[in-house]
Amino acid sequence: MDSVDMEVLRSAEQWRKAGRRVALGTIVKTWGSAPRPVGAMVAIRDDGQVVGSVSGGCVEDDLIEKTRTKILAAARPQLITYGVTNEEATRWGLPCGGTLQLVVEPVSDASGLAELLKRIEAQQLVKRHLDMKTGEARLEPGRWQDVLEFDGAMLSSVHGPRWRLVLIGAGQLTRYLAEMAHMLDYGVTVIDPREEYANGWDLASVPLLRGMPDDLVREMNLDGHSALVALTHDPKLDDLALMEALKSAAFYVGAIGSKKNNDARRERLKEFDVSAEEIARLRGPVGLYIGSKTPPEIAVAILAEMTAVRHGVAEPTWAAKPERRFDPSACEVKTP
């Protein structure tokens, strides 16, 4: 789950522990144009403090008032709908025709948020089942293909990293990429057998594996919710990881380096058991072309391209990687 929703859960649990009354809202259904997707959350404290968002602000204002006056979620979860008509949609600040439904629950010991947060922070994918009659929540291991479900009696929501990102190499760029990826719902793993890099890795939230990349990538069984980016510039490491990732179901496989270096890499991959179709999946040079120079900028470019691929968005023309054209005049020997 993304960093915004993690902040919502943390705040809700901290307020509850401090003895405050808290309502937790989750979008369970939308129609038309809705500001935020199904699964988005908001936490509202009894004094009106809010963390998270489910609309442009007007819905939150109404939820605050209903929470303060105990009209909403005072004893058990409730279902509430905003924007059934165009007039109501305008009133609640929703796009024309937009409608959303939320389950709003009172946060208590029975909500199980402390245990949920503990599992998420351990990089576990968790499915939470909320009983609408009792307000009690039950947790179980989640699966990558799980989605939010609501049948009126039970709300089943999915929490934790929904996507996996494997990074080859533990250099400076990897650090920025790993930290940003966490904000975008990725569980990140770094692979680097080189002691000089592995010994300096200190991001506690990102595990580092020291085995050989091909063996570890094969064991990970990358699926359609997985991405891999090779960042070492060392063919002995990058190519091993790429040849396994390209044969997997990973939705995104990329490699750092210039067009020339990546063309040479594609030629090397032909020598392994990698088909032409699989090699064609390689994104290298990796990332959208946005003029990136520094490691943080390069990380932004990579994650932007991953996000576009993940959502099925075609690469914009302005971000297309420029071709390096051969200029014969640059090789001419000029005599005085």
Per-residue model confidence as pLDDT tens digits over 168-226: 999 999 999 999 998 888 989 999 999 999 888 999 889 999 999 999 999 998 988 89
Instruction: Give the model's pLDDT for residue 20.
Output: 95
Find the helix or strand (DSSP H, E) in which 116 lies: helix 113-121
Per-residue model confidence (pLDDT) at position 332:
41
Can you give the pLDDT at residue 51? 94
Taking the domains of the chain in order of start, what are their residue ranges? 3-159, 163-319
117 or 33, which is more confident = 117
pLDDT score of 97 more than 80: no
β-bridge partners, 100: 30, 82
**According to the model, what pLDDT value does residue 31 have?**
79
The tokens describing 26, both together, are 């989750």
pLDDT of residue 208: 95
**179 three-class SS:** helix
257: nearest Cα among 298, 223, 304: 298
Q: Which amino acid is at 3?
A: S
The answer, yes or no, to whether the previous bond of 295 is cis (omega within 30 of 0) is no
Closest Cα partner for 157 from 265, 294, 41? 41
Res 270 pLDDT > 70: yes
- Per mean pLDDT, which of 72-86, 107-121, 304-318 is the most reliable? 107-121
Percent of the chain with pLDDT over 90: 65
Give 276-329 pLDDT, tens digit per residue: 999 999 999 999 999 999 999 999 999 999 999 998 988 777 767 765 433 334
Through-space distance between the first and last CA atoms of the chain, rounded to whole angstroms? 66
What is the structure's pLDDT at 87?
Answer: 59
The one-character DSSP state at 102 is E
Is the pLDDT higher at 333 or at 63?
63
Q: For tokens 């305008």, what's the residue?
A: 90
How far is residue 178's CA from residue 191's CA, in Å, rounded to a whole number? 12
Neighbours of 195 (CB within 10 A): 9
The overall average pLDDT reported for the chain is 87
Q: Which residues does residue 45 pair with via DSSP β-bridges, in sequence order?
A: 22
Q: Which residue has the tokens 């996000």?
A: 307
Alpha carbon distance 175, 52 (integer Å): 27
Element at 89 (helix H, strand E): helix 86-91
Residue 232 near residue 171, CB atoms below 8 Å: yes
HEC string for 318-331: HHCCCCCCCCHHHH
pLDDT of residue 34 exceeding 90, the answer is: no
Q: Please confirm whether the linkage preceding 285 is cis (ω < 30° from 0).
A: yes
CB atoms within 10 A of CB 264: 13
Confirm if 125 and 226 have CB atoms less than 8 A apart: no
**Highest mean pLDDT: which range of 24-33, 160-169, 249-258, 324-333:** 249-258
Work out the widest C-alpha separation in the chain, in whole angstroms: 91
In this prediction, residue 121 has a pLDDT band, given cuts at 50, 70 and 90, of confident
Amino acid identity, residue 30?
T
Contacts of 185 (CB under 8 A, 6+ apart): 1, 2, 161, 162, 163
Residue 144: is its pLDDT beyond 80? no
Residue 72 token pair: 């909403």
Helix extents (H) in 122-224 = 172-183, 195-198, 213-220
CATH classification number, 163-319, choose in 3.40.50.10300, 3.40.50.300, 3.40.50.150, 3.40.50.720: 3.40.50.720
C-alpha 73/C-alpha 50 separation (Å) is 15
pLDDT confidence of 12, banded at 50, 70, 90?
very high
CB 80 within 8 A of CB 72: yes
- Integer-rounded Cα radius of gyration of the chain: 24
Sheet holding 149-150, edge to edge: 137-141, 126-131, 154-159, 149-150
